[in-house]
Amino acid sequence: MVVGIKDGAKLAGIMITSFCAVLVCTLFLNYNMDLVSMEDVITAGPARMMYDALMMTSKVVCCVTGGCLLATTVIMLFFYIRHYIDTHKKELGILKALGYSDMQVAVHFWVFGLRVFLGAGAGYLGASLMMPWFYGTQNADGMLPDVTMHFHPLLFLYLVVGPALFFAGAAVLYACRKLKTPALSLIRDNLWAEVKMPKHRAKDADSSFMAELKKCTLREKKILVFFMVFASFCFSAMTQMSFSMEELSSAMMGAMILLIGIVLACTALFLAITTVVRGNSKTIAMMRVFGYSRKQCSQAILGGYRPAAYMGFGIGTVYQYALLRIMVDIVFRDMEGALVYEFDFPVMCLSLGFFAVVYELVLYGYSQRIRKISIKEIMMEG
Amino acid sequence: MIDLKEIRKTYGKGESSAEVLKGISVTIKEHSYTVILGASGSGKSTLLNVASGLERPDSGAVLYGGRDITTLTEDELTAFRKENIGFIFQQYYLLPNMNVDKNVKMGADLVGNREYRSLIEAMGLGGKMDKYPGQLSGGEQQRVSVARALAKKPRVLFLDEPTGALDEQTGREVLDYIGRLHQEQGFTVVMVTHNRNISEMADTVITMNSGRISEVYSNAVTKNAYEIGW
Ligand SMILES: Nc1ncnc2c1ncn2[C@@H]1O[C@H](COP(=O)(O)OP(=O)(O)O)[C@@H](O)[C@H]1O
Ligand SMILES: [Mg+2]
């Protein structure tokens, strides 16, 4: 292999999101397919309505979680590839200088597709194991005739093989595009050359070093700000929605959404923070040499993302409210004993409190980790 | 006064381990200009890192005015460096995304030094405050790193091959600035180099040979940066 893409831990994010996406989609789609096959049996008024509502809910769930997770996976994938190319410029440049074509190098990025395959496969397996229990709870309310469980191998093709091929292809094409830089400029890998030099503004002249560092960190990797917003968005939307879902739909649906929300949020948060800390390890090392405390380092490097994180939480709150409002008002409009949905303020406070604790704990954890950044290692890198 | 007592340091474990410092005892006087001289790989950088509290020795003591810094916790060591130590490295290690002013401010802010701009001027960089490291020559970058180190008003300035990446002309310039500021401000200088000529600028020279001190001597007459050979 020309390029050893062994950053396993980093790829875990892709595996986790594809796992979640496939798990949820398999469960609901499988159920849906079995339900559809029973359409002719269901004719009575209330049962029919229940049937429509169930179809609708599973479609909404599949679209929201599946779509959300798919988008995340795509973004993560491109982010990883770019990051990989950025951090391995020299080796890649040398390969190109030796005469490997862009495509010959890029082809190796197909392993990203393998990760998706593994994650999605595990999700499919998980869903298969959960299936009997899932059907059991769905059948428990007895409003519909019992839906019997069938396996639909086609789903495996659509949800596991398809995405894996798609991601492998996308990774190769994207890498190929990214590699279209002259070999020499890859090899020279001038840190300096990359830095965009912002125009110096008069009002900046007297801002403190820490304030300036905060600003620089944010400015340099805007995608990470997005990740922060996204992490807290997921957390906020999913946790709050899970509580409402428990009332509107079933406890299991609530629990599932809660779980996915937390997993997604943690993945995105972890990814974002790790990248920030790694990307700034030189700066942090230098600050430690000079005698800046761990707390100061983590404040300057990570503290700038705090507003973004809480903003994401706010957006998530609004988003889930709007979504549920629409679902209740449109989907369940004609149902008997129409469901009421009100904004749940206590739940929001709970969720916010929990979020704040988790977020600050993670930051604290990283400030502990900053201690371990070895000055010597960084200096030996040259 | 910095007292090093029986410093030992080994890297690696088992068969591939190598003792880099083999029991080093030496005293560095306050306000002195001390050069640690030795061939590449003799352990100079390791000694400098241990003496400055960047690395811990496996055994031995590093006493600053009687206080042993090897027993401090990581956070205490950081605070110690903040109050006492300035560093200059061969590779400058400036922050690429900040201009000269902000890079120097990194040192100045630590001790609330508001007059740090005069240092930039003193290093002959008055007209380059707004420039970024990538827009400066090697010598200019090293001068920025000198200003950054001195802006925190250290009591001891540690330099690891500060001219290693510079040509003769700019190397002399940087050494000249350091020598003059040492005269003016009286901080202690501890400089690592493999260039015997540079040791003629020092009042005390410690020579190292594969992890041991082979000789410590004083120079009766010291030369300035333009009088030494290169
Ligand atoms: N972190 C480390 N791990 C393993 N070996 C090291 C490490 N740091 C230095 N060494 C080894 O210790 C020896 C002395 O290194 P150093 O103190 O940098 O010497 P000098 O600065 O005199 O060139 C060298 O052989 C080097 O390879
Ligand atoms: Mg060295």
Domain boundary among A189, A224, A252: A189
Distances (CA, A) of B49 to A6, A315, B55: 33, 49, 5
Q: Is B209 in the pocket of ligand 1 (CB under 6 A)?
A: no
Q: Which of A275, A243, A234 is nearest to A21 (CA)?
A: A234
Question: Are A174 and A287 in a shared domain?
Answer: no
Closest CA to A20 of A242, A264, A254: A264
Indicate if A181 and A205 belong to the same structural domain.
Answer: no
Residue nearest to atom 17 of ligand 1 (CA): B43
Count of domains observed in chain A: 2
Assess whether A174 and A227 both reside in one domain.
Answer: no
Tell me whether residues B97 and A208 touch, CB distance under 8 A. Answer: no
Do the bridges between strand B2-11 and strand B59-64 make them parallel or antiparallel, or are there none, so unpaired? antiparallel
Would the CA dihedral through A84, A90, A93, A94 be positive or negative? negative
Domain that holds residue A362: 193-382
- A210/A358 same-domain check: yes
Half-sphere exposure (CA, 13 Å, Cβ side) for A201? Answer: 6
Evaluate whether A365 touches A276 at the Cβ level (below 8 Å): no
Helix axes A162-178, A111-140, angle to 10 degrees: 150
B45 lines ligand 1 (CB under 6 A): yes
Question: Does one domain contain both A209 and A334?
Answer: yes
Q: Determine what percent of chain A falls in helix, strand and coil, rounding each to the nearest 5.
A: 80, 0, 20
Q: What is the pLDDT of residue A1?
A: 40
pLDDT of A275-326, one tens digit each? 787 778 888 888 988 999 888 888 888 888 889 889 999 998 998 888 778 7
**pLDDT digit of tens for each residue in chain B (230 aa)?**
999 999 999 998 888 899 999 999 999 999 999 999 999 999 999 999 999 998 899 999 999 999 999 999 988 999 999 999 999 998 888 998 889 999 999 999 999 999 999 999 988 899 999 999 988 999 999 999 999 999 999 999 999 999 998 999 989 999 999 999 999 999 999 999 999 999 999 999 999 999 999 999 999 999 999 999 88
Which one of A171, A189, A207 terminates a domain? A189
Comparing C-alpha atoms, which of B90, B20, B32, B21 is closest to residue B62? B21
- Closest in A208, A286, A376 to B109, CB measured: A208
Pocket test for ligand 1, best of B10, B36, B45 (most atoms within 8 A of CB): B45
Residues sharing a CB contact under 8 Å with residue B186, sequence separation 6 or more, in sequence order? B31
Within 8 A of B55 by CB-CB distance, chain A residues are 375-376
Which residues in chain A show pLDDT less than 50? Answer: 1-2, 191-194, 382
Q: Would you say A212 and B132 are in contact if contact means Cβ atoms under 8 Å apart?
A: no
What is the nearest CA distance from B131 to chain A, expressed in angstroms? Answer: 9
What is the per-residue pLDDT for A7? 59
Ligand 1: residue whose CA is nearest its atom 21: B45
Same domain, A225 and A301: yes
The reply to whether A220 and A308 lie within a common domain is yes
Q: At what angle do helices A8-36 and A45-61 cross, to 10 degrees?
A: 160
* B109 neighbourhood in chain A, CB within 8 Å: 208-210
Boundary residue ending a domain (A189, A209, A233):
A189
Is A68 in the same domain as A112? Answer: yes
Same domain, A132 and A216: no
Closest to A225 in 3D by CA, of A279, A266, A191, A268 = A268
- Assign residue A237 a region: left if phi > 0, alpha if psi is -120 to 50, beta otherwise? alpha
Domain B30-59+83-218 has CATH 3.40.50.300: yes
What tokens appear for A210 in the block? 């820490």
Residue B35 near residue B191 (C-beta atoms within 8 A)? yes
Residue of B52, B45, B51, B53 whose CA lies nearest to B20 = B45
Tell me, yes or no, whether A229 and A182 share the same domain: no
- Cβ-based neighbours of A95, under 8 Å, separated by 6 or more: A2, A3, A105
What is the pLDDT of chain A when averaged over all its residues?
A: 79
Q: Are residues A197 and A167 both part of a single domain?
A: no
Query: Is there a contact between A355 and A232 (Cβ–Cβ < 8 Å)?
Result: yes
Q: Which residues of B touch A377 (CB under 8 A)?
A: none
Looking from the CA of residue B47, the nearest atom of ligand 1 is 17
Q: Are residues A55 and A93 in the same domain?
A: yes
Q: Which residues does residue B68 pair with via DSSP β-bridges, in sequence order? A: B63
CA distance B109 to B80: 16
Q: How many CA atoms lie within 13 A of B25 on its CB side?
A: 3
Q: In what order do the strands lie in the sheet with B212-218?
A: B85-89, B156-160, B188-193, B33-38, B204-209, B212-218
